[in-house]
Chain A
Amino acid sequence: MTMAMALGMIMPILTWAGTHAPPLVVVTPLLAGPIAVFLHKGRLAWAWALAISILTFVFVLLLMPQVIQNGHIAYYMGTWVPPLGIEYRIDSLNLLILLLVSAMGVLSLVFGLPLVENEIEESKRGQFFAAFLLCLAGLLGVTITGDAFNVFVFLEISSIATYVLVSMGAERDRRAYVAAFNYLVMGTIGATFFVIGVGLLYMASGTLNMADIAMHIHGHSDNRVVRAAFAFIVIGLGLKMAMFPLHTWLPSAYARAPSMVGVFLASTATKVAFYAMVRFIFSVFTPGSPFEGAVFDLVLAPMAVAAMIICSVQALYQINIRRLLAYSSIAQLGYMLLGLSMGSIAGVAAGLLHLFNHALMKGALFMGVGKASLRQGVTNVQDLRGLGKTMPLTAASFTVAGLSLIGVPLTAGFVSKYYLVVAALERGWWWAVAALIVSSVLAIFYIGKMLETMYLHEPPKITKSKKTAPQAPAKTSLLALGPLMLMAAANIYFFFDASLPKGLADAAAKALLGGGAS
């Protein structure tokens, strides 16, 4: 009897939460942030942040059935009809990114406790988790909104929170302030270019709702204001997502940030900016028009190929591990950009699939480095030596993620690279396929270099004199191992059953290219 009564009580809450899930996904972390400022005792703030991010993940899961069922959900803020009020429009494209961001939020929080206790001083942990929650809310806000200017506001929330989080790495490495300052200047220039783009769009269409803008500028793709708006939005978001020539801020920002922040940012921040570019290019502007076609072939595709090759080469010469991984992130972003610039359904689907897989790979790699730095204080590639013997499980997960980055069969990386090659051949871009192969070979070198130091070299003798990293208490290090193993397992699992990400990516690509702003 109690089961029925409990179910009776839960069902209305579930339906209420279901209908109002879109705003709650963003508002829960947004309002939990200020509360976290007061929780001084270290573990309490962490527990609060973890509970909130799990709750957010549940709200995203509540969204899934509705999106899969009827294509897309529209939620009007304050019940104002769209051109007047702000509208949340969720289709399979941003559902995929929402899943990714909230899942990575939960995983990096579970993984991050020993790292935060190791790197952030006690008095600042409450505020650190508050900034982390606000960054999570900002990223989710950018992904979910259907209003052009709202994208800018939440992009700023996540950016300012990220600048602050990166500068928190200064206790470990004093260059974090300079890295955060450069990131701030480049990020603000990017955001201001984006505002200019949105302003020009508003000048051409008269509204700020993305679907409405698309409807109004559908016929005018030769209008110069629309073309300038396209150029400024691409440059602005390109700066935010570290597209090839505008990427100089990313390596030092990820290398100097605290390791937990590195894990979260590497797998989400640039991906959300990439999503915003896909959303604007395909949902707002008309991809078919000659101008956009020319930009795809003459600007985006060469940039993607340049990113793949040049950044992989730069990754080879890096000594600091996190900088190496950051350069390889920019290279992998080149893969996604290549998928996008093909302009075909297969290409965009492959790009989105690679986005999903890359988050898994890079998250696992950064977690591996963070876990190792707990034990041996790892900053350079040499510090990894002997990890195979001292921390076998961490080394194993690190290897799986590395292989997945290279795209070795039996790993998720192979799946997305395979679809990229297929899409490229379908478009007849043989030079893109060549770039893919060259970049994968380069990846073999820089991942191989790391694996080689891990397994074939002797572990450093733990001499009393050498200041080793404080030994993380066994309980929390196990806590840290869980997400790492889970990510590594996900890398393998998604090779065999890629239905979930592949299905969402294909549905998203069809929605974007098939029905235009359906």
Chain B
Amino acid sequence: MSTVLEILHIARFGLAGVFLLGGGFFVLAGAIGVLRLPDFYTRLHAAGVTDTMGSTLILLGLMLIAGFTLLSVKLALVGLFLFLTSPTATHAVANAAHKAKLKPLLGTYRQTRKGDNEGGSQ
């Protein structure tokens, strides 16, 4: 029985390492994407997607290291807040840019709905 616990114990740190590095990789990829992509909307896409993925992976990794302590609860709370706010913020940025008639590089700028002069809600 104790060997299973030991294996789990060692595996825990190994798994945490994998999560952390994976998360780090995603965040770095997103950052490079934001820098190199030509147009606002593509950058937004790069930042939004990788942020959420990267943050979940990194926070999971840290929670594995922290184990069942108050610290993990705080990390979970940070994860929850990031999970709630960062997509919302990205949505809000996209909405505002769209309303400010920012033209995407490819494709045409089209109102979301016929006859709605300012572009309506979602």
Direct contact of A and B (CB under 8 A): no
